[in-house]
Amino acid sequence: AQSVTQLDSQVPVFEEAPVELRCNYSSSVSVYLFWYVQYPNQGLQLLLKYLSGSTLVKGINGFEAEFNKSQTSFHLRKPSVHISDTAEYFCAVSDGGRGFQKLVFGTGTRLLVSP
Amino acid sequence: NAGVTQTPKFQVLKTGQSMTLQCAQDMNHNSMYWYRQDPGMGLRLIYYSASEGTTDKGEVPNGYNVSRLNKREFSLRLESAAPSQTSVYFCASSVSRTGTGELFFGEGSRLTVL
């Protein structure tokens, strides 16, 4: 069964600084990988996803992530953050096998952007 | 343009009471899900419905039941609420059952069990 580890529960950063949110996964099969964002008092919304092809995936709001199969990682990056990026970010994985696939979520990383 | 709608948004129950969380989606999606979100634990899948007429247990199904009423609606019932069920509950839907597509989430239902 697949699992997801988000190494940082909270990441404080100053506005306009770069940020990286780390995500590692474990799975015995090929995987699909996702990053979701949750703004305060809202549901989750998709930032980006990796299904196949190019390992560098670009998403909304200037975020991007790189799939690294050898390191089983899918870290999320943004070169310059804004106050409005303050939110909780969840990495998720589903396996690429047959049958119904369910998403397994990490425990989340709270990004705190200050002026 | 509603997407996924959950009701109620807030609820306080006493231990042993029952209640049903309602969820409806207007995107003609086939699959629907119920998750719970607890601090430090991320989202955990309670039940899911791959398609109309089917439901299956997720990671944490104990103490819950679900009904896929039709393609649009997927309800979650707590028969005898316990303090351990205090949580934020999210309903979600997706186009297909293959796991490659995007999940669309409701805004959540915050439940407190005293």
Q: What is the pLDDT of residue A59?
A: 93
Q: Regarding predicted confidence, which is higher, B46 or A94?
A: B46
For residue A32, list chain B residues with Cβ-Cβ distance below 8 A. Answer: 99-100
Q: With 80 as the cut, is the pLDDT of residue B7 above it?
A: yes
Q: B39 to chain A: nearest residue by CA?
A: A107
Q: B89 to chain A: nearest residue by CA?
A: A43
Confidence of residue A28 (pLDDT cuts 50, 70, 90): low
Quote the distance between the C-alpha of residue B21 and its chain's center: 7
Comparing CB atoms, the residue among A32, A95, A100 nearest residue B97 is A100
**Widest distance between CA atoms in chain B:** 39
Tell me: the pLDDT tens digits for A47-103?
999 988 889 999 999 999 999 999 999 999 999 999 999 999 999 988 765 556 678
Query: B19 has which bridge partners?
Result: B78
Contact B108 A42 (CB under 8 A): yes
